[in-house]
Amino acid sequence: MNDGKTEDALRVTHHESRDKGDSSLVTRYSSLSYCVRCGACKELCPTYIEDSTEGMGARGRLMLLRGLAGGDIEPSKALDERIFSCMLCGACNSICPLGINITGAIYKYRRDLRAPNNKRTFISLWVKFALKRATTGFRILKFIEGVGEVFPVYRLKPFKILREIGIGSLDAPLRDSASIFKVSRPKGRIAVFAGCTANFLYPGIGRSLIRSLNAMSYEVILPKGEACCGAPLMGLGLEDAAVRLAEKNMKTFKKMKVEAVISLCPTCVHFIRNEYKGLVGDSIENAMEVSQFFSDKLSAIGNLKDSHSLPLSGSSLKVVYHDPCHSLYSLNVSAEPRQILRSMGLDLVEAERGCCGFGGTFRLLYQDLSESILKKRVEGYRKADMIVTSCPNCMVQLRSRVKDRQVKHIVELIEEAVQGDRDEKEI
Ligand code: SF4
Ligand code: SF4
């Protein structure tokens, strides 16, 4: 039985689109009725590929939401699980021949209709706290990791990934070095939107980006005011909190006179460039992924084939490129990183493309599923001596399983290639 409230919540569409001026996040439930059930979306859906049940695929989720909107099915814990186990990877949106915004419908369900869930509430509270007090949150995690086994929380399943990352050994967040990095006779100015994972877990890749840009004569701004892009909050159904972060980022980055806002994380780029329109009516249009920017500058990128810092230097190093979902499906970036790697003289091997199984809070909420998706992905990469990607979240996930080979962000290789024999500047 439909209680009216559910139907109302599902029906919102046109005035929201008008009010918010975009269709990306707000092509809500009305479009569900256009689905012709062709099934193309489920063939790319990582949770369907793993689980093989209709309800765990894109088409099945859409049918469930359609049933809910029409009053044919009622809200339930099982429905909630199906909708929350979506990784929001965007693969379904990219392939649907009718352009149905499946993730938009899923965001809306999570915002308006999610059922209470203790685990998710705990994670939501933690994420909200950590994003508001990011440095304090980072220190707490370091403390928990430092105290280790003595602290019972450390043994809980959600901390497994933190144990694998080794937070205690990490250095200061990138944002501590917020500044303007000048060069003599700059050819342009670039702003860096680091993203939370790079900021706190892998600040080194942020420094690599700054040094690479400086080496190519770009002045770099690493602003103090960067907030989380909001994607994790949207995934948890906390749209109001995500809007506040979006407003903060718009204030910081929109006014900057820069050639590009480069992020180390494709999810951040997708959000600040595509999804902010639906959230705050405006976006950071010149946001781009690392390889989008550097692929235009291939002539400045050197040959890495004999680099002494790479394993197997002097031999034919086989590299596989792991496509982050939001690069592939939301930003349409896949040729650029491959061009860059080839221009470095590296031997690029191809493997089946697909999700690594991270999916932000999905990694914490659906650990078994996440790990089985990861296992398959990594098996496909076994012919490569090194795995390269453009996403720090994929790095976290891949490194949790790959122990015998390096997993690098493409910017680390770009830095080696553009720096050449130059002295490394202190950042
Ligand atoms: S690809 Fe589009 S039309 Fe086909 S089943 Fe999926 S949502 Fe429906
Ligand atoms: S966003 Fe990804 S995980 Fe979610 S339904 Fe679409 S393809 Fe499946």
Model confidence over 153-176: pLDDT tens digits?
666 666 666 666 666 556 677 887
Residue 87 CA, closest ligand 2 atom number: 3
Say what the pLDDT of residue 114 is. Answer: 76
**What would the mean pLDDT of 369-379 be, rounded to a whole number?**
96
Q: Which mutation among 63, 84, 87 tests ligand 2's pocket best, with the greatest number of atoms within 8 A of CB? A: 87
Residue 102 CA, closest ligand 2 atom number: 6
Q: Which mutation among 88, 267, 328 tests ligand 2's pocket best, with the greatest number of atoms within 8 A of CB? A: 88
Other Cβ atoms closer than 10 A to 34 = 10
| Ligand in nearest proximity to the CA of 62 | 1
Residues with beta carbon inside 6 Å of ligand 1? 35-41, 58-59, 62, 96, 98, 100, 102
**What would the mean pLDDT of 101-125 be, rounded to a whole number?**
84
The label of the residue with tokens 């403390």 reads: 143
* Cα 275 to ligand 2 centre (Å): 16
Say what the pLDDT of residue 303 is. Answer: 74
The label of the residue with tokens 């029906």 reads: 11
301-419 — its CATH code?
A: 3.40.50
CA angle 187, 188, 192 (to 5 degrees): 140
Whether ligand 2 lies within 6 angstroms of the CB of 196 is answered as: no
Q: From 3.40.50, 3.30.70, 2.60.40, 1.20.140, which CATH number describes the 174-228+239-295 domain?
A: 3.40.50
The span from the CA of 14 to the CA of 26, in Å, is 9
CATH architecture of structural domain 5-112 = Orthogonal Bundle (1.10)
- Give every strand in the sheet of 218-222, ordered side by side: 179-181, 218-222, 188-193, 260-263, 287-289
Residue 359 CA, closest ligand 2 atom number: 3
Residue nearest to atom 1 of ligand 1 (CA): 96
Domain boundaries, the chain: 5-112, 118-169, 174-228+239-295, 301-419
85 is written with which tokens? 């186990």
Which pLDDT band, with edges at 50, 70 and 90, does 128 fall under? confident
340 near 410, Cβ under 8 Å? yes
> Of 11-15, 201-205, 215-219, which range is least confident?
11-15
Are 174-228+239-295 and 301-419 in the same CATH fold? yes
Residue nearest to atom 6 of ligand 2 (CA): 92
Mapped onto helix, strand or coil, the DSSP state of residue 106 is helix
The span from the CA of 14 to the CA of 18, in Å, is 6
Mean of all residue pLDDT scores within the chain = 84
Q: Which of 341, 368, 372, 338 is nearest to 355 (CA)?
A: 372
**What would the mean pLDDT of 372-380 be, rounded to a whole number?**
96
Instruction: Give the tens place of pLDDT for each residue, 261-274.
Output: 999 999 999 999 99
Alpha-carbon 77 to chain mean position: 27
* Cα 86 to ligand 2 centre (Å): 5
DSSP codes, 23-84: STTT--GGGGGG-----HHHHH-HHHHHH--GGGSHHHHHHHHHHHHHTSS---HHHHHHHH
Residue nearest to atom 8 of ligand 2 (CA): 45
Contacts of 41 (CB under 8 A, 6+ apart): 57, 58, 59, 62, 91, 92, 93, 95, 96, 102
Residue 88 CA, closest ligand 2 atom number: 1
Which one has a higher pLDDT value, 223 or 139?
A: 223
197 is written with which tokens? 């994972």
Q: Which mutation among 25, 47, 61, 96 tests ligand 2's pocket best, with the greatest number of atoms within 8 A of CB? A: 47
Instruction: Give the tens place of pLDDT for each residue, 280-338.
Output: 999 999 999 999 999 988 887 777 766 656 654 555 789 999 999 999 999 999 999 99
Residue nearest to atom 8 of ligand 1 (CA): 35
pTM: 0.87
The label of the residue with tokens 């690392």 reads: 290
